A = this chain, B = another copy of it.
Amino acid sequence: MSVDAPLPSAPRLIIDLDAVRANYQLMAEHSGIANTGAAIKADSYGLGMNEIAPLLRDAGCSSFFCAHVSEAMTARQILGHDVEIFVLNGVCFGEAPLMRQKQLIPVLSTPEHIALWGEAGENAPAALHFDTGMNRLGLAFDENIMTQTKDLNLNLLMSHLACASEPAHPLNQIQCKRFEDIKKAYPGLRASLANSAGVLLGKAYHHDLTRPGIALYGGAPLEEGGPALTPVARIEAPILQVCVLKKGETVGYGASFTAPEDMRIATAAIGYADGLPRAASPGGFGRIAGQAVPLIGRVSMDLSVFDVSALTQPLQAGDTVMVLGGDLDALAKTAKTLSYEILTGLGPRFVREYKGNGA
């Protein structure tokens, strides 16, 4: 076995680029006549900006959203100079010259951002982000800000929805209305409000540019319902041991699971260091040949134990258990979190394999 070949003992993370493309196209359809950008921050939600960003560009995306300057610099290197790259976290002291050199567009969200970008001169383009109810980052809309921004080379007006995952939440319409009011103060300026969930809220939320993120990566944007997305990421973890657990014996740290009867269990090389949340057990599951196999006991750092008693096929060390795939949102719910946190928490120990897109 060569040192460079993937080791059989390593868990694999398989990322389906065709699925990302299909999800982007679906978001583009739902975006109507608006252009469809893409959030590729946090390494494309943990799945690899290097592989995913060029695919999105080739699928027609020309507006990319990063959080950090460092991410945007990487994106510029990957994507070349024919796309626009926004930096959602804005600009910090000393960073403006570098951002201009790399043609990165800061999303100006505070009076300090406006001052820093303005002082650095040259009139390079910037986006303006008003807070309409998220109260996290963003400008308060007033006459003062309009005066401060009148000499800037603005190319996008933005805000961000707080509750779009719950279409019936009253804050959605309030934010929509506030954004409309702000738009009137910047006539002719391109506008963007919708994340993935916002895309699904309908035409009133689309404006000129949508910027889906989670939907591209296969996570459901809405708490309930929404269009069927194609799963993007799945883990294939090698099974190290299959054995019998006697009735009354306990499993794992804290002896938190006690076998109610003799069971067959499988221990796989996947743990919370790989991003399988500790909170995914009890309640979470993997799949073997499509059949659900429940997690039992506590997920530990490098290993997890599955109940394979109900499996109708033979199983042995060296076989694999699948995690995530179409079960991403269900697993996130069990772990009392979101698909977003699962994906961005995937660890560095996987052998990463990209499928599709000609790969």
* B-binding segment of A56-64, A78-86, A228-236, A252-260: A252-260
Nearest B residue to A97 via CB reads B1
A329 contacts the other chain (Cβ, under 8 Å)? no
Contact with B along A318-338 (1 / 0, CB 8 A): 100000000000000000111
Q: Which residue of B lies closest to A345 (CB)?
A: B345
Give the residues in chain B near A349, CB-CB below 8 Å. 42, 68, 70-71
Min CB distance A234 to B, Å, is: 20
A41-57 at interface with B (beta carbon < 8 Å): 41-43, 45-46
Whether A9 lies near B68 (C-beta < 8 A) is: yes
Q: Is A301 an interface position by the 8 A CB rule?
A: yes
- Residue-wise, chain A 10-23 has the 8 Å CB interface mask toward B (1 for contact) of 10000000000000
Chain B contacts of A273 at CB under 8 A?
Answer: 41-42, 46, 67, 344-345
Contact for A302 among B42, B92, B134, CB less than 8 A: B42
CA distance A183 to B239 in the complex (A): 28
Complex Cα distance A169/B253, Å? 11
Of the listed residues A8, A42, A43, A277, the one surrounded by the most CB atoms of chain B closer than 10 A to its CB is A42
Q: How far is the CB of A257 from chain B (nearest CB, A)?
A: 9
Kindly identify which residue among B46, B169, B238, B267 contacts A136, using a CB–CB cutoff of 8 Å: B267
Is A305 a contact partner of B136 (Cβ separation < 8 A)? yes
Asked if A162 is at the interface of the complex by the 8 Å CB criterion, the answer is yes
Query: Complex: how many Å from CA A300 to CA B316?
Result: 41
The reply to whether B272 and A135 form a contact with Cβ atoms under 8 Å apart is no
Q: Does A294 contact B (CB under 8 A)?
A: no
A29-37, A144-152, A199-207, A243-251 - interface stretch? A243-251
User: Is the CB–CB distance between B302 and A67 below 8 Å?
Assistant: yes
Among B45, B69, B265, the residue within 8 A (CB) of A9 is B69
Q: Is A98 an interface residue (CB 8 A)?
A: yes
With A89-B302, A90-B240 already in contact, the answer to whether A255 and B344 are too (CB < 8 A) is no
Partner of A135, one of B163, B251, B269: B251
Q: Is A262 an interface residue (CB 8 A)?
A: no
Assess whether B69 is in contact with A166, with CB atoms less than 8 Å apart: no
In angstroms, Cα B344 to Cα A73, docked, is 26
Contact among B69, B110, B337 for A278, CB-based, below 8 A: B337
- Asked whether any CB of chain B lies closer than 8 Å to the CB of A125, the reply is no
Bound together, the chains give a CA A41 to CA B300 distance in angstroms of 12
B162 touches A272 (CB 8 A): no
Q: Are B10 and A68 in contact (CB under 8 A)?
A: yes
Min CB–CB distance A331 → chain B (angstroms): 14
Instruction: Specify which chain B residues have a CB less than 8 angstroms from the CB of A344 in the assembled complex.
Output: 272-273, 301, 347
| Interface status of A26 (Cβ within 8 A of chain B) | no
**Lowest 4 CB-CB distances: which A-B pairs, in order?**
A42-B273, A67-B302, A273-B344, A9-B92
7 contacts between A and B (CB under 8 A): A8-B94, A67-B271, A67-B302, A135-B245, A136-B252, A165-B253, A345-B347
